[in-house]
Amino acid sequence: MCSSASRVGVQGSWIQEILKSEQATGILIMHLPHVRWACGFTGSNGFLLVKEERLHLFTDRRYETQATLEVHGAQIHIGSDNLVDLVRNEGLVLATDRLLIQPQCMTVADLYRWEAAFPGISLIPRKNLLNRSVAVKSEEAIAKMRQAQSISDAVFHDIIPHITLGIREIELAALIDYEHRLRGASGMAFETIVAFGANSALPHARPGNRALGTDEPVLLDFGCSFDGYTSDMTRTLHCGEPPSTEFRAVYEAVQEAQERAVSVTHTGMDASAVDHAARSNLVTAGLGDFFSHSTGHGIGLEVHEWPRISANSSAILEKGQTITIEPGVYLPGRFGVRIEDTVLIGASACERLSHIERDLIIV
Ligand code: ZN
Ligand code: ZN
């Protein structure tokens, strides 16, 4: 079935730009978040073919009704098992075509299927295809990201009284997830991290059965999805007073590194310079060796998207991009501290989407 023929609308410029610069005859978008970005489709199976300035969504019967409701600016093609056969039967692609593909999303099985259907076709891999276009958010996308973050902020605020001696990491994580759902999140953006004591020294700790004891840090890293767009934040709290001098010193160094990086971030800046701003502060504090990951990542329809905010990133920040800034220090077997905010890149500064304070909270 096909919807009424549709011209490419607002997104048109990216198509011409890409096709012209790559001398290609079409684009095959298999990365589902990008399919959603380009035409609104949220189903779990399908791909978008761009040919002659028109978008064609191919999906299966399960999504027939959903696609009709969601998709804008693309012609809908409904097939059964082999959607590539449908492309061929509809005559949309020829063996002489040069199609740009996203190699990280095309399986070997997909590749064989396309090459079998169109012998001799040129499938040209472009790892960063669409990444720049998707990274710059529309006003509508920014509003959704603000909403996602405001849900996470409200949850953070409300769970603090529940962080009491004896609560297990897994209980607190369940509570965080539940509270997000109650406030309208469609789900969590990633598995919630709750790490007590020495577990906080693992940057990607998984919540387990550990019960909160006194004089322990509490690292919370979570985010949700709201109408497709995500939030991401980390705060490290401390249970019991006063924290050790060492914990306090590490906390202050991380806070200063995070605040310094946020204060210098703006349009036109190298992503690597944001990393440098955070990292150099921790190096000066003698903690550089314990900051074991990059400073942040792009965020939007996916919690981790282009660009990476790392020392070897070649990306340049643009107005309307959203990234995280999340330096951390991890002392193995002892404790870790991370502070993370999602920020919106503006002309001469950036704006934190979270309004949660960064001074140490003691529970
Ligand atoms: Zn995070
Ligand atoms: Zn993050």
pLDDT tens profile 197-247:
999 999 989 999 999 999 999 999 999 999 999 999 999 999 998 999 999
Same domain for 241 and 338, yes or no, is yes
Same domain for 48 and 144, yes or no, is no
How many A from CA of 297 to the centre of ligand 1?
A: 10
Among all chains, which residue has been given the structure tokens 């800034």?
325
3-state DSSP call for residue 338?
Answer: strand
> What would the two tokens of residue 269 be?
């800046």
Same domain for 73 and 195, yes or no, is no
How many A from CA of 299 to the centre of ligand 1?
A: 10
110 falls within a domain? yes
- Taken in order 16, 94, 84, 104, the sign of the CA dihedral is negative
How many A from CA of 54 to the centre of ligand 1?
A: 37
* Closest listed ligand to the CA of 299: 2
Give the domain CATH number at 306: 3.90.230.10
| pLDDT the model gives residue 12 | 58
Range of the domain at 101: 2-134
Among residues 99, 134, 169, the one where a domain terminates is: 134
| pLDDT the model gives residue 81 | 79
Which pairing describes strands 233-239 and 216-222: parallel, antiparallel, or unpaired?
A: antiparallel
| pLDDT the model gives residue 1 | 41
DSSP label of 10: T
Same domain for 304 and 323, yes or no, is yes
Question: What residue type is 13 in one-letter code?
Answer: S
202 falls within a domain? yes
3-state DSSP call for residue 110?
Answer: helix
Mean pLDDT of the chain: 94
358 falls within a domain? no
Same domain for 163 and 113, yes or no, is no
Annotate 277-311 with b (16+ C-beta within 10 A) or e (fewer): bbbebbeebebeebbeebbbbbbbbbbebbbbbbe
Please report which residue ranges of the chain form alpha helices under DSSP H. 12-22, 32-39, 64-70, 83-89, 108-117, 131-135, 139-159, 169-182, 245-264, 271-284
Same domain for 212 and 93, yes or no, is no
Q: Which helix (H) or strand (E) holds 1?
A: none
Same domain for 299 and 224, yes or no, is yes
pLDDT tens digits, residue range 158-180? Answer: 999 999 999 999 999 999 999 99
Burial of 1 (0-12, 13-18, 19+ CB in 10 A): exposed
Same domain for 102 and 148, yes or no, is no
Is residue 11 over pLDDT 70? Answer: no
- Alpha-carbon gap, residue 197 to 238, rounded angstroms: 9
H helix count then E strand count, the chain:
10, 19
Is residue 8 over pLDDT 50? Answer: no
361 falls within a domain? no
363 falls within a domain? no
* Closest listed ligand to the CA of 223: 1
Between the alpha carbon of residue 357 and those of residues 32, 112, 241, 254, 258, the distances in Å are 35, 52, 19, 14, 12
Among residues 118, 134, 150, the one where a domain terminates is: 134
pLDDT tens digits, residue range 47-85? Answer: 999 998 899 999 999 999 999 999 999 999 999 878 999
**pTM exceeds 0.75, yes or no:** yes
Is residue 185 over pLDDT 70? Answer: yes
127 Cβ contact list (under 8 Å, min separation 6): 102, 103, 104
How many A from CA of 197 to the centre of ligand 2?
A: 21
- Alpha-carbon gap, residue 350 to 310, rounded angstroms: 18
| pLDDT the model gives residue 261 | 98
How many A from CA of 46 to the centre of ligand 2?
A: 28
Number of domains comprising the chain: 2
> What would the two tokens of residue 98 be?
């040069």
- Alpha-carbon gap, residue 276 to 261, rounded angstroms: 8
| pLDDT the model gives residue 145 | 98
Among all chains, which residue has been given the structure tokens 């027939």?
64
Same domain for 107 and 158, yes or no, is no
| pLDDT the model gives residue 125 | 94
How many A from CA of 31 to the centre of ligand 2?
A: 21
360 falls within a domain? no
Same domain for 238 and 348, yes or no, is yes
Provide, for the chain, the percentages of residues in helix, strand and coil under a 3-state DSSP scheme, each rounded to the nearest 5.
Answer: 35, 25, 40
Same domain for 97 and 200, yes or no, is no
Instruction: Compute the CA torsion angle 95, 101, 103, 105 (nearest 10 deg).
Output: -110
How many A from CA of 287 to the centre of ligand 1?
A: 21
Cβ pair 141, 230 in contact under 8 A:
no
How many A from CA of 303 to the centre of ligand 2?
A: 7
Give the domain CATH number at 113: 3.40.350.10
Report the 10 Å Cβ neighbour count for 220: 26
274 falls within a domain? yes
- Confidence grade of residue 111 (pLDDT, cut at 50, 70, 90): very high
| pLDDT the model gives residue 17 | 77
Neighbours of ion ligand 1 (CB under 5 A): 221, 232, 234, 340
230 falls within a domain? yes
How many A from CA of 196 to the centre of ligand 2?
A: 19
- Alpha-carbon gap, residue 299 to 343, rounded angstroms: 9
- Alpha-carbon gap, residue 40 to 7, rounded angstroms: 15
Among residues 134, 168, 185, the one where a domain terminates is: 134
How many A from CA of 324 to the centre of ligand 2?
A: 6
- Confidence grade of residue 14 (pLDDT, cut at 50, 70, 90): confident
Strand 98-101: give its sheet, edge to edge: 74-79, 54-60, 47-51, 26-29, 98-101, 122-125
Between the alpha carbon of residue 159 and those of residues 173, 211, 220, 247, 355, the distances in Å are 10, 16, 11, 23, 16
* Closest listed ligand to the CA of 305: 2
How many A from CA of 209 to the centre of ligand 1?
A: 21
| pLDDT the model gives residue 2 | 39
Same domain for 94 and 240, yes or no, is no
Is residue 16 over pLDDT 90? Answer: no
